[in-house]
Every structure is written in C-alpha cells, then in structure tokens.
Chain A
Amino acid sequence: MSKFVYLVPLFPLIGFLINGLGRKSLSKSMISVIGCGVMLASFVVSLLVFFDVKANGATTVELFSFIRSADFQIPFAFQVDQLSSLFLLIITGIGFLIHLYSAAYMHEEEEQHFGRYFAYLNLFVFSMLLLVLGANYVIMFIGWEGVGLCSYLLIGYWFKNDQYNYAAKKAFVMNRIGDLGFLLAVFWLLFKLGTVTYGDVFSRVSELSSFDITAITILLFVGAMGKSAQIPLYTWLPDAMAGPTPVSALIHAATMVTAGIYMIARSNILYTMAPVSQALVAIVGLATAIFAATIALKQNDIKKVLAYSTVSQLGYMFLGLGVGAYTGAVFHVMTHAFFKALLFLGAGSVIHAMHHEQDIRKMGGLKKHMPITHITFLLACLAIAGIPPFSGFFSKDEILMAAFSANPLYYYIGLVGALMTAFYMFRLYSLTFLGSFRGTHEQAHHLHESPSPMTIPLIVLAVLSVLGGFVGIPEVFASDAHSLENFLAPIFAESNKLAHAHHLTHSQEYIMMGVSTALIIGVIIFAVTKFKKAADVNDENTGVAKVLENKWYVDELYDNIIVKPLHLLSVFLKNILEKNIIDGVVNGVGKLVGYGSRQLRLLQSGQVGNYILVMVMVMVIFVLIWFNDITIMNFLKKLF
C-alpha cells in the first residue's frame, strides 16, 4: 500500500483544483462534498498506509527527479515511515473533521468565497502532507513554504478587512524569516554532504564537523521558530486568529505550527549530536512556554487565549525535543492536536452561537444553551490542564519527566507553566460557560447549540482527547505499554543509542505526578471559584496585569526597533540616496554637459563675417606655424 502513498496528497490537490476552478459554478453543497470527500479519501489511504508501515516497516517512494544538477540530485520522493505515517493520520483525520465542521460553520459565505475557502483548505492539507511526506529537506521545504502560503491566504480570507490583511502579511513575513534559516541549513547540508535526502544525511552525519552540525541544527531551529511560533518569532500566531475559526483549529493549532516539531523530530540524530543546539531548543521552548502562558492569563478574546496557549504548548514540545524526549514531543503533538483542535472548534461553536462575538467578558452561562459544546470543551480543558487520565496528562508528563532528568530547573519552570495553563484554561472555561450571561439581549435570544456537522467533530475529538493518551502509558504504570514509543522506535533508535538517559526511579515519578496533579487540581478549583461569578472582569488592569494584557508590549517593541527603522531606511534610500545622490550624480553629469554647451553656444553669433574672420585667422596661424618648418622656409627663401 505504501507505494500508493502519493494518493494521500493527490486527493486534496484534486479537491483544490476542482473547488478552485469551479468555485463560481459549483453549489455550496457540491463544494463541501468535494472538499470533505477528498479528505476522507485521503484519510482512508493514510490509514492503509499507516497499517502497512506498522506491518512492513518504512519505505521510500520516488516519484520523479525534481532537480538534477551537476553537483547534486534532489528527487521528488516520499518517505513513508512511522513518523510520517503518524502525522498523515493526524493531518488527514483532524483535517477531515475540520473540513466537515467548516461546511456548517462557513455556510453564510457566498458560493464563490465558500469555494475559495475550501480550495485554500485543501491546498493547505496538500502542502502539509508534502511537508511530512517529503524524503528530503527540499521537499519538506516545499511543504513548509506551501503551508505558509495557505496560512497567509486563510488568515486574510476575509480580505475586505485591512486588519486581517496585515495579520496575514505579518504571519507570512515572520515565517519567511524562519524560512531563511531553514534554507541556509539546506545549503549548508548540500555544501558539505551534497545531499539533502534524510537517509543519506543521517547515515553520513559523522562526516560533518561538530561546528557544522551545530550551525545546521541552529539554522533549522530558526526555521522552526518561525513556523512553530517560538520566541522571538511568535507574535504572528495570535494575530493569525483573524482567520476563520476552523482555520485556526486546523492550521494554527493542530497541524502547521507543529511542523517545526516534526522537522526536529525528523532530524533528531543531528540534534542529538549537537548538544549546544539541543540546549538552545530546550531553553527557547521553555521560555516560550512560560512567556506565552503569562500573556494568556490576561487575554479576553477567546481565540487569543487559545492562541497563546498554543504557543505555550508548542514551547513544551520544543522543551521535550531539547531534552531528547522525541517520542514525548511527538506524543504531545498528537494529543495537543486533539484537544486544541477541539478547543478551537468549541470556541468556534460558541462564536457561531454568539454571532461573531469573541470577547469572553460578554459571554457566560452558555452551559445550559450549548450542552455538547460545553461538555466537550470541558473535557478538552481537563486534557490540556493535564489531569489524569486525559490525554494531555500523559504527554505533558512524559516531557516534564524527561526535562527533570535533563535538568531539574527545567522541570520546575515547566511545572509553573503547567499551573498557569490550568489557570487560564479554566478562567476561559468559567467565564464562557459558567455564571450568568453577560451579552446583549439579542445574542441571548439567539443562543443555540450548533448543528450536527459541527457537533460531530466535537464529539469525535473529545473522545480522542480523553482516550488519546492511552497509546503512551508510561512505564511506571505498566511495562512496555507505551505503544507509541514502540512504534516510533526505529525513527529515534540512533538518537536513543547516543543519548545516555538516566531514568528516574518509579517512586520519584509517582511523587512528581502526584504533586503536580494535586497542584493543578488546586489551581483549577481556585480559577473556577474566582471566575464563576466573573465580578471583576471589566475592571481596568494595572501594573503587571496591564503589561500582561498588552502582551508584554512585544509587538510595540518590534514595531519600534524593526518595522519603523526599516521604513525610515526605505524612505531615506528612496527619497534621499536614490533620488539625490545616485541619480543626482547621473543628472549632474548631464547638467554639466548642458551648462558647458550653453556657454560654448555664445561663440556662435550667427554673423557670417565673424565665422570667416575666425577661419582666416586660424589659417594665418597655421601658416605662421608652418613658417617655422625649415623645409618650407628654405623653399620660400628660394622662391623670393
């Protein structure tokens, strides 16, 4: 089955083409059937591929030779192995659910835009599949930029709103900064090894000097910073919430932003051999996790809270990668995809019911109006907070345990972040679903549970969020029950051999789990009781709270140290250097010639007599000069 893997990205591509070209002629129901149908087909093929890999192991499928240069060759090939097949399932599975959800969520759109939406969404899935399927860094880069493109298109989907367009542009440009790092790493690999195919790179990694590996891994990580919204390139992700909510769920929570984690997990052997880069990944991840969590504490836009939560959770994944817990990171990608997609879709359901109101201060008491959304949202909150036995608990726990064995400080900071996660999620939950309704009468009148195409994905994702963790039961509970680790073992085998993991004792693990769970439950109870009444939500924030509400003023900082100077420089170059200096020199030469010619023109008086006089005088002068010539003198003497 693996050799038919090209069908997986092919279906969304076909969907993109049909919906994109036929967006004016197809009806909405046709468009949704095509959009969702191709995803379902893709998911089915992915399942078959997944089980094939599980049974028969990894293969590479080469489609054609993409670039065949004199110095190197880059095939257009797909790597079908444990890691990519797992991601295939996540992408196509969640992708399908979100397509289904979109069909209902976006039903108010005009046909033409509805088609455009599904075309973009299908194109995104296609790109994302290329990203994870590529058998070399260049194919990965194609997907890498492709998802950036679709993210741009979908953030700016409502293109009449200039605010959204700015957000889209910001996302694309920040991603490009990261992409430059990625590209440089690719060039470095090509320069040193002459190949970018994973298999060749990883087997010949010993040919690289440690400086090379460190540089390559850091550059790749710069790429990951952009795509996965890590400090300092994270500010685009919260702004990206301008896109339709299902898009936020699919692209900016479940799939695209985890591309950086996928890439590092894929290159795990490089990172394992570059301790400096690993430490950098861990520290940046941890810093982002904490930093984003603090901002999330004070946000009032339901999607912004979730966005910062995503940034924070991505930070955890990078922490996992940085401490060598590759399986843990991938595991968290998976569980995060379930519960964060669920949270976003739940939020979408709420926004839908609230007629596009996103401010949680104006919600409250939605529990009784939207039972399914409420229950599923609560389950997702529990999962992300890390309450056993929900899925988030297992994956986050695995990362934190690994962090503890690498450096206890990582663990303590990570734990603080986890507590903050629990706090802001339940603040969000309480303000939205508990207490009494704070919106307008009209909104209150229209509150309703969403239609079934929206609730079915919620239910499916809720089940996954609850049960998803059981594929990775830690050893402390049952030996050899971590089926995900076993499945992924071939991918991380080399790294695990090199890394000298010192495992914690079982009693240590029990204590840590117990303490953290107790603390989290405490925080949840505190948050729920504090915000159930929602008494002070409208108060003006002061001090630290104000700084947090304003996101540490990072956007303003970037604006002042990068954007504005760049614009000033541009204006300076355009108006001063280009216009006056460079063109000034060119025009100056022209003017000089013009001036000289105007002066010389005065000699031309127009009087024929003057001209002849000058002519005669010049002739006389010539004759006088000749007179000095001896032979002429002699000739003349002889004559006269």
Chain B
Amino acid sequence: MIPVLLILLPLLTGIISFFIKEENAAKGWGLLSAVLTLTVAVAGIYFYPAAQLSFDSAWLPSLGSRFTMSMDGMSKMLVLLTAISFPLIFIATYKNQYRNAGSFYALMLLTQAGLMGVFVANDALLFYFFWELALIPVYFLCSLWGGEKRIAVTFKFFIYTFIGSLMMLAGILYMYFQTTDHSFAWQSFYSVQLAPEKQSWVFWLFFIAFAIKMPIFPFHTWQPDAYEQSPTATTMVLSGIMVKMGIFAVIKWLLPFFPAASAQFAQWIILLSVIGMLYASLIAIRQDDIKRLIAYSSIAHIGLMSATLFTGSRVGLEGVMIQMFNHGINVIGLWIVADAIEQQLGTRKFSELGGLAQKAPSLAILLLVMAFANIALPLTNAFIGEFLMFNGLFHYNIWITAVAGISIILAAVYTLNMVQKVFYGNTTTLTSNATDISGNIRIALVILVVLVIALGVYPQPMIDLTKDTVGATMAGK
C-alpha cells in the first residue's frame, strides 16, 4: 500500500493545488504535501512490514499490464531521496516569487508523483507511464516559469527526452511481443532472455533513452541549457532526482534483460562515459556561470556512475547506489547556493561577483562544505561513493581508472575556481551591498550539510539499504 500512497499523495495534493489562487497558501500546501510524503516514505520504509511495500492490482487486463509496484533497496533509497528533496527544495525556494504559484506547485507535485511512480513501478507500461508523467510537468514548469531563453531550451529538452522515451517505448513493445504470456510485468520481461545476437539493438533502444536522461556524453547538450533556464526549484528536481531515473533504469530495466549486450558494449560505454567525465570537467574549468558550472560538474559525476555501472563489479555497484543518493543531496545544495546568489544579486556571472564571504559568511561556509562534498573530500558523503566506484572501475581496468581519476583533480580546479571567484577576493559594486542568506535557505542548507557529513562519517546505513539490489543485480536478476 505504501507505494500507492507515495504516488497518490503528491498526485492528489498536486491536482488540488491547481485551484489554489493565493501564493502563500500554495507554498504552504506544497510544503505540507511534501512533508507528508516524506513522513509516509520514512514510516513505510523503516517502520512498516515489508509486505506493505508492494502492491498489485488489475490495470489494463486486455494488454497484460498490471498495476504492480514493489520496492527493493534501490527503490527505497531513491524514494527517500525524492521524499527528502522536495521539502528541502520547497523550503529553500520559499521566498521565490512565482506567477500563478498554485499551478507551479501543482506541477512540481505532479513531477514528484511521476518520480515516485518510476521508482516503484514493476510493470513496463506503468514504468513508461510514470516516466512520461515525470517529464511532462517539467516541460511546463520550464516553459512557463523559466528564464528568457526558455522556449527554445525547453523545446530542445523536450524533443531530446521525448525521442529517448519513444525509443524506450519501441523497446518495451518489442520486448512485450517476445514475452510468452504477453505481459508487461518485469518478471515476464526478465524471463524473455533474448538470444545474444538479438539483444544488441533492443539494448541500444533502451540505453539511449536512459543515456539521454542521465545524461552521458554526447547526449548531454540539453542539460546545461535546461538547468540554466529552468526555475531553480525545477532544476533541483531535474539534476537532483531526475537524472537518477536514468541510472535507476539502467540497473533495473536494462542490465538484467540484456546481459550479453551489456557485456558486449560495456567497453564502449565506459569509454564514452570517461571521455564525458574529462570533457565536462574541462569545460567546467572555464565556465563563467555558476549554474552552467554545476551542470557540467554534474555531467562529470554522472559519467563516473555510468562508467561504473557497466564494469560489472559489486563494489562499484554499491558505490553507484549510494552515490545516487549523495549526488542528489550535494547537487541540490549547490543549486540552493546558486539560487540564493541569483535571487539576491540578479547575476550568476563570476566576473560580476566576488568577495561574498565578507558579506555573507554563513552562505560562504555552507557553500564551502557543499563544494568540498562536490569534490569528494573524505568525511563528506561523496567520498564514500566515489571511493567505491573508483574501486569498481579499478577492478575493470587500471588505466581507465587513472584517466578517470584525472577528473578528481579537475574537479578541485573548477570547484575552487568557483569558490574563489564568487566568495573570496574583494567585493564588487554589485556585491558590496549583499546580505547574508535568509532563514529558510539557511535551514535547508544546514539540513543538507548535516546529511552530507553524517553520511560521510557513517555511510553504512545507506550501503546496507541497497545491499539486496546489488546482490540481485550481481546475480543477474
């Protein structure tokens, strides 16, 4: 019952939110809903019997599709991530002004419903349905509340991801016709096990869909633009949670179905991912815009995850699991900082900023922790993930690891660049009147910082949470 509740709660509150006219009421309603969802998620995952975590009911019997949901370790973790992120996002952006706030929050909540659905669906058609449900509100959010170039950028984003979705749909339909019982159930897909030579093109249909979502070089160009132009709250959802859909889908909907093709193409995907890591890191070095820098940094981090996914190493997979969570937390923190600066000073350009540490010491310190989490300093959460992932990569190939490792040096270069140019040095005309962050942003950032450090010092709960998924994936299920 819990998974259904997790979807219905944001879905219904979201629909109600469309009719809320008053801005503060909409914000309060959104926050209330997000907190309720978080409560349900935490209670469901930690306090209710495991039987409550799955759900099965008839949906489209003529098509062989059922409303089946279940939560394994990975789903639990990503549901937690989604549930934790939304309240934080709402808190951090509480003071942002929106035209028609009711609809904005409604669409945000619908996105949350879609994300929850993606993470718990156990039926391919249902999965596809939620995949799109998560995408479409984001399209409207970006195109209605985005920056000045929003129309072109959103269009690009939509076409990009939609092409991916259609390829996935084609793949799903192909797999459906291969099933013996004509069903969309995960189990039926799994028992298809195509002959190795038939796997390759279906593999690519799925993989490209997921690769666009993650995104992996060279399918990434929608991302910096979309991150830059979307309203920050949406960007946080996009980069914090939505990119995890791609990785999640690879683990759940790709690797088990096409083991032969995965092994066959692993080296190319790893190569592509590692190139993408270095490529994105190098571009980030010369960025002059906080948001674009974070976007490219995120591409680099995702590159490491996708490379590790295909090494077939257990340690690496463990790393990917916890890194999905950690990256979500960290990148949302960075966005909050970027948003705080933009909201106050109206610019994201390094060249116009500087010396903020004198004016906003709390923001500077909180950013510093986030920045060091971004470069995976030990005792921050990202270190654990990257350590395990690099370990997995090392099992695969030493040289690839060494080359990929260059990105941790480059990460230090661009992250410290940002810290230096925005926070250190002398104040500019723009920043000389800056003030420190307001209470709501402080609360959100402090919570994130506590999470970052806590998970960096004691990561074991996260590793244990996803243990079953790792085991199943390694066993080929």
Contact = CB atoms under 8 A, between A and B. Distances in A.
> Do A and B share a complex?
yes
A232 to B, nearest CB: 14
B425 A165 contact: yes
Interface stretch (B31-39, B51-59, B70-78, B377-385): B377-385
B413 interface: yes
B301 to A, nearest CB: 16
Interface in A141-193: 141-142, 144-146, 149, 152, 156, 159-162, 165-166, 168-169, 172-173, 176-177, 179-180, 183-184, 187-188, 190-191
Interface string B270-307: 00000000010011011100000000000000000000
A68 B358 CA distance: 42
A67 B383 CA distance: 11
Contacts of A541: none
Contacts of B378: 141-142, 144-146
B458 interface: yes
B319 to A, nearest CB: 8
A159 B357 contact: yes
Interface in B323-354: none
Contacts of A161: 425
Nearest to A74: B387
B334 to A, nearest CB: 18
B405 interface: yes
Interface stretch (A423-431, A462-470, A565-573): A565-573
B417 A574 contact: no
Contact of B425 (A65, A71, A159): A159
Interface string A552-596: 000000000000001101110110011000110011001000000
Interface residues of B, number: 54
A144 B391 CA distance: 19
A566 B361 CA distance: 32
A210 interface: no
Contacts of A152: 416
A156 B357 CA distance: 12
A177 B460 contact: no
B406 A160 contact: no
Given A582-B221, A583-B221, A574 B405 contact: no
A180 B425 contact: no
A112 interface: yes
Interface stretch (B166-174, B191-199, B202-210, B394-402): B394-402
Contacts of A72: 315
A70 interface: yes
The interface residues of chain A, by DSSP majority, are classed as helix
Given A159-B423, A169-B420, A180-B408, A570 B283 contact: yes
A573 B424 contact: no
Contacts of A571: 286
A162 B372 CA distance: 20
Interface string B212-247: 000000100110000000000000000000000000
A574 B413 CA distance: 16
B409 interface: yes
A138 interface: yes
A69 interface: yes
Contact of A188 (B286, B388, B394, B460): B394
B388 A567 contact: no
Given A64-B458, A69-B315, A567 B286 contact: yes
B220 to A, nearest CB: 8
A640 to B, nearest CB: 47
Contact of A566 (B221, B282, B379, B467): B282
A180 B387 CA distance: 11
A67 B460 contact: yes
Interface string B441-477: 0000000000000000011100110010011000000
Given A159-B357, A566-B285, A176 B412 contact: yes
Contact of B467 (A70, A71, A138, A578): A70
Nearest to A145: B378
B123 interface: no
A573 B406 CA distance: 17
A173 B156 contact: no
Contacts of A169: 413, 416-417, 420
Contacts of B405: 180, 183-184
The interface residues of chain B, by DSSP majority, are classed as helix
A146 B426 CA distance: 27
A177 B420 contact: no
Contacts of B470: 70
B454 to A, nearest CB: 13
Nearest to B318: A69
Q: Residue among A66, A69, A70, A173 with the most chain B CB within 10 A?
A: A69
B424 A162 contact: yes
B184 interface: no
A214 to B, nearest CB: 14
B314 interface: yes
A593 to B, nearest CB: 9
B406 A159 contact: no
Contacts of A70: 314-315, 318, 467, 470-471
A132 B327 CA distance: 30
Contacts of B458: 64, 66
B460 A65 contact: yes
B248 interface: no
A331 B287 CA distance: 47
Q: Residue among A67, A142, A161, A184 with the most chain B CB within 10 A?
A: A67
B282 A570 contact: yes
B64 to A, nearest CB: 35
Contacts of B409: 173, 176-177, 180
A570 B412 contact: no
A286 to B, nearest CB: 27
B355 A187 contact: no
B420 A71 contact: no
Nearest to A158: B424
A590 B162 CA distance: 14
Given A67-B459, A187-B391, A159 B283 contact: no
A629 B160 CA distance: 46
B119 interface: no
B412 A172 contact: yes
Contacts of B425: 159-162, 165
Contacts of B463: 67-69
A149 B221 contact: no
Given A69-B463, A160-B358, A573-B279, A191 B395 contact: yes
Contacts of A165: 420, 424-425
Contact of A172 (B218, B287, B416, B460): B416
Contacts of B467: 70
Contact of B221 (A142, A183, A578): A578
A530 B390 CA distance: 56
B408 A69 contact: no
A573 B412 contact: no
A587 B222 CA distance: 10
A590 B160 CA distance: 10
B50 interface: no
B16 interface: no
A68 B357 contact: no
Given A149-B372, A180-B409, 5 more contacts: A64-B458, A65-B460, A145-B377, A183-B387, A187-B391
Return the 6 tightest CB-CB contacts between A and B, nearest first: A142-B378, A187-B394, A159-B424, A570-B286, A570-B285, A583-B221
30 contacts: A66-B459, A66-B460, A67-B384, A69-B318, A69-B388, A152-B416, A159-B423, A160-B355, A162-B424, A165-B420, A169-B420, A172-B412, A173-B409, A173-B412, A176-B408, A176-B412, A180-B402, A180-B405, A183-B390, A183-B408, A188-B394, A188-B398, A566-B282, A566-B285, A571-B286, A573-B279, A573-B282, A582-B218, A586-B222, A587-B156
Interface of B: 156, 159-160, 218, 221-222, 279, 282-283, 285-287, 314-315, 318, 355, 357-358, 361, 372, 377-379, 384, 387-388, 390-391, 394-395, 398, 401-402, 405-406, 408-409, 412-413, 416-417, 420, 423-426, 458-460, 463-464, 467, 470-471
